[in-house]
């Protein structure tokens, strides 16, 4: 049996450095705690790492990756989304590479460390509480049991590295060099709610653009902060009901707010407080186009086919048209297999089926069009993140095999959004990758003049390496492989930050 087949079947042996509690009766059968997914316990820093190949002289910056990594034994069934945020930084400077990995010192993690609380883990409340009473999980419905673990995204803004959390969360500021947690970032007191996981930094203006949503609120709170972190604009944007979006897209002049027909069933939420994610195929998807500093009365809503999108690639303006490309899930219904027991909904939810898709909106005439751009199953997509809001030609995605039982990235995919050609390269049997970020060459040049960076882990040895591809020829394979000092496990989102934002 080859290694890829083994991981698809979740039969990986556990690595030597995994915590012992993963084999407790409660956790022994949870694939998101074992093998490739086994938590790592240590914080690590290392300089001048061994490199196979050569680090290009025009790489100057850092690849950052967020990871869900439970530090303590979860009290209830563990959901992959519930892991404590652990941040990886791989720094490229003067042809040398250094590494750092640290936990985000969130309030909930510090409570656990100080013995104030014991590993509340509430994401299961969203998925598998059909037998809540029998399993003694009633208390999970208490909002206090939902951990904001700051484990999902990293963004650079105002020279600060800031975290984001899946369910809209608090923002923590990290030192971009040491990865030490500097504390909560509330933008001078102006962030009075939580913030969505994927706010966007417009690198032309330095502004940060994001919004808040919540279980019981039929509106978004939309924010724009300037390049110094001062609040520039805030607006309440009304909705037909509470929604469960994830991303936001920006163009030079507009922000695009998402209203997908995939949200917590409002009746269940109201009556018994159960968060059951439900698809409404009879409702349209809606994209709200808002001038960047606009208010409720200026939003134009455009309707499209029903579906759900976790992550957009980018959006931009072409005359009166707004073009938005992203990873569309035409049928996001959670197809639960009861045979998989109490974890069935979580396991099903992680089996993402999405492909590259384009939405077009004319802000003058109200016309729309939409089309699939490809049929390959891809997600975790990034353009050059310094070009959010501007027209981009290239993006980098992860291929997720449809037959995979757990969320794995087996191939790197590059799309050309003009020719709609794709290039694809496997990480190879026995290797899994991470969300891959584009590192622009310090020499400038064409949009794809630079490198694609990812962390790969070998499923037999559990060695992890940082692989660097020439972005203009990913199919040639990595031009450099950096030996990392520790097993790195799975990740969520990654980004690249140019060195001038880190070291000046
Ligand atoms: Fe995300």
**152 CA from centroid of ligand 1 (Å):** 6
> pLDDT exceeding 90 applies to what percent of the chain?
78
For residue range 33-76, what is the model confidence (pLDDT) as tens digits? 999 999 999 999 999 999 999 999 999 999 999 999 999 998 88
Tell the burial category of 16 from Cβ atoms under 10 Å away from its Cβ (0-12, 13-18, 19+): exposed
**358 CA from centroid of ligand 1 (Å):** 19
**196 CA from centroid of ligand 1 (Å):** 9
**48 CA from centroid of ligand 1 (Å):** 31
Give the residue-averaged pLDDT of 200-227: 96
For residue range 372-430, what is the model confidence (pLDDT) as tens digits? 999 999 999 999 999 999 999 999 999 999 989 899 999 999 999 999 999 999 999 99
Q: Is the pLDDT of residue 5 over 50?
A: no
Mean of the per-residue pLDDT values of the chain: 92
> pLDDT exceeding 70 applies to what percent of the chain?
92
User: DSSP characters for 447-469?
Assistant: TT-EEEEEEEEETTT--EEEEEE
Give the residue-averaged pLDDT of 137-141: 63
**494 CA from centroid of ligand 1 (Å):** 10
Give the model's pLDDT for residue 142.
Answer: 63
Give the model's pLDDT for residue 341.
Answer: 80
Q: Please, which pLDDT band fits residue 266 given cuts at 50, 70 and 90?
A: confident
Which positions ≥6 away from 298 have C-beta within 8 Å? 290, 291
**80 CA from centroid of ligand 1 (Å):** 13
Give the model's pLDDT for residue 146.
Answer: 75
Q: Please, which pLDDT band fits residue 2 given cuts at 50, 70 and 90?
A: very low
Higher pLDDT, 43 or 345: 43
Give the model's pLDDT for residue 339.
Answer: 85
Q: What is the DSSP letter of 14?
A: P
Question: Any long-range contacts for 342-346 (C-beta under 8 Å, 24+ apart)?
Answer: 342/77, 342/128, 342/131, 342/135, 343/29, 343/30, 343/77, 343/128, 344/128, 345/127, 345/128, 346/32, 346/77, 346/79, 346/80, 346/123, 346/124, 346/127, 346/128
Q: Please, which pLDDT band fits residue 137 given cuts at 50, 70 and 90?
A: low
Q: Please, which pLDDT band fits residue 272 given cuts at 50, 70 and 90?
A: low
**312 CA from centroid of ligand 1 (Å):** 9
* Count of the separate structural domains present in the chain: 1
Give the model's pLDDT for residue 133.
Answer: 60
Instruction: Give dist(CA 256, CA 251) in Å, integer.
Output: 8
Give the model's pLDDT for residue 342.
Answer: 78
Q: Please, which pLDDT band fits residue 343 given cuts at 50, 70 and 90?
A: confident
**153 CA from centroid of ligand 1 (Å):** 7
**468 CA from centroid of ligand 1 (Å):** 23
Q: Is the pLDDT of residue 302 over 60?
A: yes
Lowest mean pLDDT among 75-79, 143-147, 386-390, 479-483: 143-147
Lowest mean pLDDT among 34-38, 75-79, 318-322, 323-327: 75-79
Could you tell me the CATH number of the domain that includes residue 406?
A: 2.120.10.30
**186 CA from centroid of ligand 1 (Å):** 21
**493 CA from centroid of ligand 1 (Å):** 7
**341 CA from centroid of ligand 1 (Å):** 26
At 177 the three-state DSSP class reads: coil
| Owning domain of residue 416 | 3-7+10-114+122-501
């Amino acid at each position: 049996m080859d290694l890829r087949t083994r991981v698809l079947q979740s039969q990986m042996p556990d690595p030597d450095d995994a915590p012992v509690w993963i084999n407790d009766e409660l956790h022994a059968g949870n694939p998101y705690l074992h093998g490739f997914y086994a938590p790592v316990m240590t914080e690590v820093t290392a300089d001048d790492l061994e490199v196979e190949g050569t680090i290009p002289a025009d790489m100057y910056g850092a690849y950052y990756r967020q990871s869900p990594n439970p530090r303590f034994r979860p009290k209830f069934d563990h959901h992959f989304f519930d892991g404590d945020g652990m941040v990886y930084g791989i720094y490229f400077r003067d042809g040398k590479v250094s590494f750092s990995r640290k936990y985000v010192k969130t309030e909930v993690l510090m409570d656990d460390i100080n013995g104030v609380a014991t590993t509340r883990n509430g994401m299961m409340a969203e998925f598998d509480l059909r037998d809540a009473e029998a399993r003694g999980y009633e208390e999970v419905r208490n909002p206090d049991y939902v951990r904001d673990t700051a484990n999902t995204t990293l963004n650079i803004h105002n020279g600060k590295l800031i975290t984001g959390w899946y369910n809209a969360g608090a923002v923590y500021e990290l030192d971009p060099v040491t990865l030490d947690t500097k504390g909560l970032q509330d933008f001078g007191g102006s962030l009075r709610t939580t913030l969505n996981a994927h706010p966007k930094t417009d690198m032309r203006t330095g502004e940060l653009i994001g919004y808040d949503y919540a279980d019981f609120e039929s509106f978004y709170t939309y924010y724009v902060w300037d390049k110094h972190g001062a609040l520039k604009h805030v607006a309440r944007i009304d909705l037909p009901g509470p929604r469960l979006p994830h991303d936001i897209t920006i163009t030079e002049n507009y922000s695009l707010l998402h209203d997908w027909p995939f949200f917590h069933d409002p009746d269940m939420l109201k009556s018994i407080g159960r968060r059951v994610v439900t698809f409404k195929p009879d409702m349209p998807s809606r994209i709200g186009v808002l001038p960047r500093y606009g208010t409720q009365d200026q939003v134009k809503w455009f309707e499209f086919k029903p579906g759900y999108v976790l992550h957009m690639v980018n959006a931009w303006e072409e005359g009166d048209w707004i073009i938005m490309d992203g990873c569309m899930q035409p049928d996001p219904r959670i197809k639960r297999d009861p045979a998989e027991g109490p974890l069935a909904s979580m396991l099903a939810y992680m089996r993402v089926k999405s492909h590259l898709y384009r939405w077009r909106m004319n802000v003058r005439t109200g016309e729309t069009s939409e089309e699939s751009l490809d049929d390959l199953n891809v997600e975790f997509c990034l353009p050059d993140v310094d070009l959010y809001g501007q027209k981009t030609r290239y993006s980098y995605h992860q291929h997720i095999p449809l037959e995979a039982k757990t969320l794995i990235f087996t191939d790197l995919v590059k799309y050309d959004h003009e020719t709609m050609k794709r290039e694809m390269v496997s990480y190879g049997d026995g290797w899994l990758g991470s969300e891959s970020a584009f590192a622009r060459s310090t020499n400038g040049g064409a949009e794809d003049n630079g490198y694609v960076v990812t962390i790969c882990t070998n499923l037999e040895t559990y060695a992890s390496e940082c692989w660097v591809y020439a972005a203009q020829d990913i199919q040639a394979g990595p031009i450099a492989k950096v030996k990392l000092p520790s097993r790195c496990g799975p990740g969520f989102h990654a980004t690249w930050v140019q060195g001038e934002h880190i070291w000046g």
